[in-house]
Amino acid sequence: MGRRRSAVAAAALAVLVAGSAAAQDLRLPVLVPLTGFVALEGTSQRNGALLAAGQLRDVTLRPEVLDTAATPEAAVTAWERAMGGVLPPATVGPILGTQMLALLPLAQERGVPLLTISGTARLGELGNPWFFRFFPSDATVKVAHARYVVEKLGAKRPAVIYQSTAYGQSGREQLARTFADLKTPPVLEESIAPTVNDLSPAILRAKNANADVIVLHLHAASTVLAVRQARQLLPDVPIVAGSAMHQPAAAALLEPAELKGVCAETAASPISATSGPMKAFLEAHVIYHSTRLNKYFQNMYEFSVCDAYLGTYSLF
């Protein structure tokens, strides 16, 4: 599968460099959670696909956005709708790991490439040749997350608060493994359901455990709540959050004082661009969507462009 992916990537690059694609009209189903507890992340995905479609010149890309809400069943329903009629060259899958786990067998059954930015490590371990990830998995980013806590902050007593979803469990497993390798076992590991709207009990348990850093691996809504309540109960304890916290839409829900001592793990920081093509991309995003850029948007943009060119050349 590695050779296959390398060949596809190389061919995509050759197509982009050549720039000689005949104009074609391609349908691209975009299955993303626009409602539910991952709506912030899903909206960024959708916006990235729409901007990519508007900027392509050699290919007419028609994104068909379908809401997968927050359940595997809703994702499967959206998939079946997307597969009606002529099969698309590829489909964009949701960020939510449980939904991707439900869709992967369907993608393999149909022979349709399924692209995602979900970080759930399990997805890449299934050996599905129709799975393509445009984002590093938890097996990569959580190593950096834990190492930053120990090696940069010098923390000795981390408290880990993670989501009870497949995404949260995936991250928690890698964090625990890396903290063990670093001989810095967490003083607390707390699982939080996405429906929980009061995280103060978990924060208080971290306080009672004498934690010297709060490590978050939560979806955006839970991350915002955890930061807000941690700043009330543990104002001087640093918080190292997961990628959800880097989203401007998530940060905007917090007061500047609540963000003091808070940092976030992220695979890329397009909003930090100050020059060159990335700055132009950032400005285009702001004009198009009147919002600030984050990596979910960037990754979605990149693989929507890639899908358009690959679909044109029938490389899948």
Same-domain status, 229 and 303: no
- Encoding tokens for residue 148? 């930053």
Is 282 contained in some domain? no
Is 184 contained in some domain? yes
pLDDT of res. 51: 80
**Within a domain: 289:** no
Query: Which pLDDT belongs to residue 148?
Result: 95
**Looking at residue 249, which CATH number applies to its domain?**
3.40.50.2300
- pLDDT recorded at residue 283: 72
Looking at the fold, whether 157 and 241 belong to one and the same domain comes out as: yes
Sheet holding 24-32, edge to edge: 59-67, 24-32, 91-92, 114-116, 131-133
pLDDT at 314 over 50: no
pLDDT of residue 50: 84
Does 14 map to a domain?
A: yes
Out of 158-162, 168-172, 252-256, 297-301, least confident range? 297-301
**Residue bearing the bigger pLDDT, 293 or 117:** 117
Whether 21 and 112 map to the same domain: the answer is yes
Residues 12 and 130 in one domain: yes
pLDDT above 60: residue 66 = yes
pLDDT at 10 over 90: no
Q: pLDDT over 90 for what percent of the chain?
A: 54
On whether residue 62 sits in a domain, the answer given is yes
Residue 145 has pLDDT above 70, yes or no: yes
Q: Are residues 223 and 202 in contact, defined by beta-carbon separation less than 8 angstroms?
A: no
Residues 298 and 218 in one domain: no
Top pLDDT among 20 and 118 is at 118
| pTM for this model (two decimals) | 0.75
Is residue 312 over pLDDT 70? Answer: no
My answer on whether 78 and 144 are in the same domain is no
The answer to whether residue 57 sits within a structural domain is yes
Query: 48: domain range?
Result: 2-135+294-312
Give the count of domains, the chain.
2
Radius of gyration of the chain, Cα coordinates, nearest whole angstrom: 20
Do residue 21 and residue 88 come from a single domain?
A: yes
Residues 66 and 154 in one domain: no
pLDDT recorded at residue 195: 93
Q: What integer best gives the mean pLDDT of the chain?
A: 82
Q: Tell me, what amino acid is at 287?
A: I
- Position 291 confidence tier, pLDDT thresholds 50, 70, 90: low
Q: Are residues 146 and 257 in the same domain?
A: yes
Q: Is the pLDDT of residue 303 over 70?
A: no
Residue 269 lies in a domain: no
284 inside domain:
no
Answer yes or no: do 6 and 95 share one domain: yes
Predicted local distance difference test score (pLDDT) of residue 301: 41
If asked whether residues 160 and 207 sit together in one domain, one would say yes
85, 90, 52, 82: which is closest to 66 by C-alpha?
82
Same domain for 117 and 148?
no
What does each C-alpha distance from 233 to 156, 221, 299 come to in angstroms?
A: 20, 19, 35
Q: How confident is the model at residue 251 (pLDDT cuts 50, 70, 90)?
A: confident
Q: What is the pLDDT of residue 285?
A: 62
**From 22-26, 131-135, 146-150, 169-173, the region with the lowest mean pLDDT:** 22-26
